């Protein structure tokens, strides 16, 4: 029987996007069925395997997306979203594989569910791009999305603070406006995809927040202060308004965490 660590590592080292989605969902199914042994006998890679395309660019080199409803602008939007979800697969897999031995079975189960969701989101977005006559990899993409994982590779509390509670929480803030624009353009199919992603991301942020609160309890730390200190230390960007306070609160992330350090 394969170990959970080896199964996760194999999915992380799968470069082809479609194959990574299949591998991720298979690992999640095998874990739920009890077909993987509880053993962390291999280390996670410093960086997952990625396809040759898209070309990854530094944030300052990324072309500006044109506002408006042009076909090119719509493709750029969906491609950007697809890339975010593709990297999110690896972020969730790495979370479970890197910190699972330390954090336990519930932690692994939660983040394997997150990984399976992200694989499904990517598949929906890749299909949307194909419907628009494009494909994932056709445009350059943001190179910095893995940086937060690498910077927090040795500290589960820092990883939880930055990835689910900053990066994914930011998705809760910006997705409703994108959803409104997509729906206003008459793209009801695209609106359904974004609605599904938004609903799932609330659960993802909730999972991260739950396990972060456990880390704070184990270290006898005040959760909000611990979160703020870790974000200041490990997150290069800014925690920026406007905030979707209701969605954040539904995920257990109250304003007490982020209001004081918001820019």
- The pLDDT value recorded for residue 61 is 74
CB 166 within 8 A of CB 205: no
**Tokens at 150, concatenated:** 């690498």
**64 φ/ψ sector (left φ>0, alpha ψ -120 to 50, else beta):** beta
pTM: 0.96
Q: How far apart (Å, rounded) are the C-alpha atoms in residues 122 and 170?
A: 18
- The pLDDT value recorded for residue 98 is 98
Residue given tokens 């938004």 in the structure block: 198
Between these two residues, 147 and 59, which has the higher pLDDT value? 147
Local confidence band at 159 (pLDDT 50, 70, 90 cut-offs): very high
User: What average pLDDT score do residues 196-204 get?
Assistant: 98
Ramachandran angles phi, psi of 130, nearest 5°: -65, -35
Measured torsion, CA atoms of residues 188, 189, 191, 196, in degrees rounded to the nearest 10: 140
- The pLDDT value recorded for residue 96 is 98
- CA of 141: how far to CAs of 60, 77, 85, 234, in Å? 11, 11, 12, 23
CB 141 within 8 A of CB 213: no
Domains and CATH numbers, the chain: 72-261 (1.20.1260)
């Amino acid at each position: 029987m394969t170990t959970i660590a080896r199964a996760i590592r194999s999915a992380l080292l799968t470069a082809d996007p479609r194959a990574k989605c299949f591998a991720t969902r298979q690992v999640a199914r095998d874990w739920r069925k009890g077909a993987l042994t509880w053993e962390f006998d291999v280390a996670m890679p410093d960086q997952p395997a990625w396809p040759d395309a898209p070309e990854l660019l530094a944030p300052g080199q990324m072309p500006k997306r044109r506002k408006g409803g042009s076909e090119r602008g719509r493709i750029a939007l969906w491609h950007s979203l697809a890339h975010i979800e593709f990297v999110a697969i690896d972020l969730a897999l790495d979370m479970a594989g890197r910190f699972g031995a330390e954090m336990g079975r519930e932690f692994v189960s939660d983040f394997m569910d997150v990984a399976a969701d992200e694989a499904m989101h990517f598949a929906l977005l890749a299909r949307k791009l194909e419907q628009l006559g494009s494909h994932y990899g056709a445009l350059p993409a943001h190179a910095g999305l893995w940086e937060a994982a690498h910077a927090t590779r040795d500290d589960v509390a820092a990883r939880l603070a930055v990835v689910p509670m900053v990066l994914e929480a930011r998705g809760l803030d910006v997705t409703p406006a994108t959803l409104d624009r997509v729906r206003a353009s008459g793209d009801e199919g695209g609106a359904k995809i974004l609605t599904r992603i938004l609903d799932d991301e609330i659960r993802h942020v909730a999972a991260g927040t739950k396990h972060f609160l456990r880390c704070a309890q184990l270290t006898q730390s005040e959760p909000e202060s611990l979160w703020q200190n870790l974000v200041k230390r490990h997150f290069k960007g800014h925690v920026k308004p406007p905030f979707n306070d209701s969605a954040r609160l539904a995920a257990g992330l109250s304003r007490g965490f982020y209001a004081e350090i918001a820019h």
